[in-house]
Amino acid sequence: MTTSRDKVLELVASGKISAAEGDGLLKAMAAPGPGFWHTLWNPFERLSLSVSLALGVAGVLAALVLSHFNVRFDGAFDVHAMNSSVSLSTALIEQAIVWPGVALLFWLGALTLARSARAVDFLAAVAVARLALLPVGIATAPLAPLLPRDVSTTSTTHLLPLIVLVAIALPALALFFVWLYRGFRHASGLRGARCGVAFVTLLVLAEVLSKVALNYLP
């Protein structure tokens, strides 16, 4: 059976590629792929555009299911438990604001600094980043009823579910911000301080504007 190495050697022998190009291909094939932690830190090096968008659709469907369990994704990076479930139309509008809406804002902001930025890349970036918030929503659904409505009434019986929820929420939010920054950096092509300042500014704007828009929902 002809291996990939044999095929490269045949291409070099036939003159279709140079020896240097062949050596580069062999080294690339021999190099180990990025490990789990590297991929977790920056998934955009491995995920294609189509896969990222498909994950975004899956995330929306999961969020719609969670809305029936009184969980709302009511902000650019917010997850809250409500007293009752929301309608499907309201949940869909929320998802439209926090995914395509936020992606549109990031794209427009990046265009002022990176003229070649593509809207679809920001749509994929926000889609992947928002997956990090799903564990918070999944944990919120069963744990929220066990938490006190008034902080002043917190007792030892509320302590364990609160600790569990915080233990899930903090790393999930941290991962969300890391993925969103990495996705913004990948989509915009910006680097250094300019990328950091633009990202923080747009993130704050996204949170404020999404809250204002969602305030008009029933």
152 contacts 158 by C-beta, under 8 angstroms = no
Which one has a higher pLDDT value, 147 or 192?
Answer: 192
> Is the confidence at residue 3, as pLDDT, over 90?
no
So what's the pLDDT on residue 17?
76
pLDDT band at 2 (very low <50, low <70, confident <90, very high): very low
pLDDT band at 153 (very low <50, low <70, confident <90, very high): low
So what's the pLDDT on residue 50?
92
- Give pTM, 2 decimals: 0.80
77 contacts 176 by C-beta, under 8 angstroms = yes
Exposure class string for 84-121: b at 16+ Cβ within 10 A, else e: eebeeebbebbbebbbbbbbbbbbebbeeebeebebeb
List the chain domain ranges: 1-31, 45-214
Tens of pLDDT, residue by residue over 48-107, are 889 999 999 999 999 999 999 989 998 999 998 888 788 899 999 999 999 999 999 999
CB atoms < 10 A from the CB of 7, how many? 11
